[in-house]
Every structure is written in structure tokens, then in C-alpha cells.
Amino acid sequence: MPASELPVARFTDPANRHIAVVGGGISGLVAARELAKTGVRVSIWEQEPTLGGRIRATELAGVPADMGAEAFASRGGTVACYLAELGLAKDIVYPAPLGSWVLAGDQALPLPRGGAIGIPAQPLSKEARRHLGIRGSLRAAIEPWLPLRSAKLGEDPTIADLVSTRLGSRVLERLVRPVTLGVYSSDPEKLRLSAVPGLDAAYQRERSLIKAAKKLRQASSAAGGAVAALSGGMTPLIRALEAEIRRLGCEVHPGVEVAELRSRDHGAWQLCDRNGAVLTRADAVLLAVPEAAAHGLVTLPGEAPEHDEVEVIALAVENSRLDTAPRGTGVLIAAGSVGARGQREDSAALDQPADQASGNVAKENLILAKALTHVTAKWPDRAAARPSGQHVLRLSYGRAGIRPETLELSDAAAFERARVDAEQILGIAIAAEQVVDRARQRWHIAAPSQNRPNVEAPPGIALSGDWVHGTGLASVIPGALKAAQELFAWLIAEPVHPCHSEPESEVRPE
């Protein structure tokens, strides 16, 4: 190859170049570590005082409890391999094989085993028939013999369109909708097939949603069992990543908001605060921030989306009757549900059944939570860390497009609402004095867009996060690695500009 055709490297010493990572959640930390391994100078800017994003814990009755992400999808082994890189393989734990439940109306039933996002792998099983009835189960059972594609579905249909067309409305309403609302905080009408990790590929390969569900989860495992976590919670992952990026020489700036990006000549970028002061200059920037924040920093196609709000309330409860795990690992709750029929005890909050004749329920009797996780039943290591008879219940509020009903409540009122919801969901009376500690945490989650374009950032800018790569660590971690690798490849491919040889003075926060 003639010398003139050789690629021109942008720099010979990576340490002379600088990539800024905006956002110190899991996506930003994974990307920063990957970039730092190349030898390039890396800085991380996070507006919150601590790193971790939606992986966060709080002390609950003296023991840490997750208030954000609590687990990761174990299929494929992607996350497990990454944890092994960080020396955390020995700390991976798995949930108890109890299965999760669905509460719809006033009836609580276990989710059919071996499914994915509520799609039953065995629609004619006794468990599935209890949810769907004979007609619904038979309608779903013919799905493997239907043609793969329908003209009205398009290339990337919504979960609602695909499930109702192939499996019927009962599967959609009684199984899939409660699961997508509880797991993805999204109505199935707003959730694309491509947004569910692995489902699109499995569907194309198996040519059936039923068969795809079987492949995504082992048929013998309880529904909800294809996940894993770290002993004691997910925050050890953040601590390990922070230790790694500091060891690799990354500059970490917690509690500093990047409010503006200014494009400079020759592709350089200035990161500025709300007062316009320059925080740093970078040759390239990786934005690991929510979609709305990314739209505020750079020009992207489409409009900035609205965000849904979710509130998590955790209760530490001393009640030995919870030792029996009455609802397995937890419950997903359909809108308009009340305490489960035939499962109630003598409690004022549990004594008023739904008006089955009219289908109307007094507003004060409705369960407001969209999901409950029985943490100490789901994770045996969490139970072992607490006194006998002490349990952790975690309730989530806020459905797609609807603000959490607890949001404007005082702490006392919000915690009381959670206690009443918990006893209705579990069918076990929980006295106020049995709640020994409590905590609440609000989160903003990007509302899924049905028509989001493929997002292309300006040259020298990379995008990362769940809104780019999909929900969950199994999507976010490989997505962040790819974004970091592509940004570094761009950096070394561009020719050096003379202005880059003179470092610019930087205004550093104190």
C-alpha cells in the first residue's frame, strides 16, 4: 500500500486527547471505563452528588435496600461476564423459585411459568387457563400456526398490536399489560417489539411468540426467574466501577451540572455550567443522560419526549405471617384492582369487596400501586441480612402517562397509603406498628415513543443510555461499550488540527 494511502492517526499519544462523559449513571461509568482503558484522558460530569443513576440504595432498618434497579436479565450471560471482569462473579445471586403473581380486579393468580413479558409459553396449562379461560387459552394456543407477519403490523409493531393480533385480547389485557406497566412503566401500545431485549430476534427465529417465550425463559423456571443480582443489592457494581475508573485515572466531578455544550472550531467542544462558565474543553463528548437532557445539549432529530414519573416506597415490616411468601416474589397490579377475593383477613382495609355486579369500586378501596416486590422473599440473601420475621416490601407508583398518586402526599400519608396497598395486595393484615422503617424515592423515566427516529448525534458526540440501547443492564452495558468504542474510533480517525496542540484554560468547580 502506498504511504499516501495509509490511514492518518489523529494522535500518537492518547493521553493528549480528552473525552468528556456527561452522566455518571451505569451507562456513563461503563463507557468511561472502556474509554480510559485506551489511555485517553477521560472526565466524568454528574449533576447528582453521588454516582450510580438509577442504581441507588438506602438504609432501611439498618440494612441497605435498593431503591432503583434491583436486578439484571441473566439470559445471554452478557452482564455476568462484565461483572466477572470487575471481580464480582462470586457475588452473583439468583431469586428464589417462587414465581410472581398478577392481581387483576379482585383476583390474584400466579403468572404462568416459562413466559416472557406475560406471554405464556404453555397457554393450555392450568395456570394459563385460570387467567385466560378456555376460550382465551385456545385462542392463544393456535399462535404457532399463524403466519409470521401481518401487513397491518409493520416491521416494528407495538407489543399491543402484536400480542392482540397473534394471541388475542385476553393475553394482552390479563397478562401482558400488567407486566409491561410494572416492568417497563409503559403501556403495551407505546412499547415497540424492538424495545424488549431478545424478543424480536427470538420471534423472527422461532416464527412464533409462544416459542419465543419458551426460548427467552427456561420452561421449568418460575415466571420472573430469568434475572440475577448481586449479594446485598446492586450498588456494589457502582462501587466497583468507580474504583476502576479512578484507578485508570479518570477525573470524576460529582455534583456538577453540564448545562450547555458549545461547538468550537475543528470539532472541539466546551462544557459549560448554567452561568456560562467553561467547565472543561473536550475533543469528543459522550452523553449518558436522559433523552430530554440530551436534546437540551445538542441538536437531535425529533422533539424532546415527555417523561413519566415513578415513585418507589419501601417498607421494613416485622410480621412473621409474611414468612410464607403469600404472593411469591411479588405482584403486578392491573389498574382498577382491589384486595384479592378470598384471600382477605379481618382488617378494615380488606373487608370491602368489589361491586362485581357493576364493576365499580369506591375510589378509596382501589389499590394505587402498580407493582409490589416482596424483596426478602425474592432474594434469600436479603432475608438472611435481617432479623427473623422482618421483611422488606417495595411498592411502585405511577403508570404510563399518569403521575404517581403518592407524589403530592406527605411522607406520613404516602407511607400509610403503601401500607394499606401492601396488605390488600398480599391478603395479610399489616398493622401500622409493624412497619419499623420506610423510605421513598422518585424517578423520572423517559416515556417510550412510538415514532422515535434513529437518533444521530453530531460528529464527536456519542449517545448512550436506556433510551438509546433499551431498558435493563443487559441492553445498557453492551450499548455503552459500543458507544465508547465507536467514539474512540472516530477520535483516532480524524486528522489532528493545529489548535489542539495548545491546551485551553479551564474553569474548574471548587
Supply the DSSP string of 153-192, one letter for each residue.
T-SS-BHHHHHHHHT-HHHIIIIIHHHHHHHHSS-GGG-B
Helix (H) or strand (E) holding 491: helix 473-493
Three-state DSSP string of 13-25? CHHHCEEEEECCE
Whether 236 contacts 230, CB under 8 Å: yes
- The whole-angstrom separation of Cα 143 and Cα 123 is 10
In Å, how far are 305, 359, 404, 439, 453 from 445, measured between CA atoms?
A: 10, 32, 12, 20, 19
In sequence order, which ranges of 359-448 are alpha helices (DSSP H)? 375-378, 380-384, 411-426
Instruction: Give the start-end residues of each E strand in 221-306.
Output: 227-230, 251-254, 260-263, 269-272, 278-282, 284-287
Q: Which residues, in sequence order, are bridge partners of residue 281?
A: 270
The whole-number pLDDT of residue 281 equals 94
Contacts 24+ apart (CB under 8 A), 276-281: 277/507, 278/504, 278/506, 278/507, 279/45, 279/253, 279/506, 279/507, 279/508, 279/509, 280/18, 280/20, 280/43, 280/45, 280/506, 280/508, 281/18, 281/504, 281/506
Which domains are present in the chain? 3-54+233-305+453-501 (3.50.50.60), 118-223 (1.10.3110.10), 307-446 (3.90.660.20)
The whole-number pLDDT of residue 363 equals 53
Instruction: Give the start-end residues of each E strand in 379-452.
Output: 390-397, 435-446
Tell me the angle at which helices 78-85 and 473-493 cross, rounded to the nearest 10 degrees.
70
The whole-number pLDDT of residue 448 equals 52
In degrees rounded to 5, what are phi and psi of residue 104?
-130, 125
pTM, entire model: 0.82
**Stretches in the chain below the pLDDT threshold 70:** 1-15, 114, 149-154, 185, 217-225, 265-267, 304-306, 340-364, 446-454, 494-510
Three-state DSSP string of 91-104? HEECCCCCCCEEEE
Classify each residue of 82-120 as buried b or exposed e, where b means 16 or more C-beta atoms within 10 Å of its C-beta.
bbeebebeebbebbbebbbbbbbbbbbbbbbbbbbbbbb
The angle subtended at Cα 47 by Cα 42 and Cα 53, nearest 5°, is: 85
Query: What is the sign, positive or negative, of the torsion defined by CA atoms of 501, 505, 509, 510?
Result: positive
- Strand, coil or helix: what is 280? strand
The whole-number pLDDT of residue 113 equals 74
In degrees rounded to 5, what are phi and psi of residue 157?
-70, 165
Whether 404 contacts 309, CB under 8 Å: yes
Diameter of the chain measured on Cα atoms: 87
How many helices (H) and strands (E) the chain has is answered by 15, 20
- pLDDT tens figures, 458-473: 889 999 998 888 778 9
- Strand, coil or helix: what is 31? helix
Q: Nearest Cα to 98, choosing from 323, 338, 319?
A: 323
The whole-number pLDDT of residue 73 equals 84
Q: Nearest Cα to 334, choosing from 100, 132, 103?
A: 103
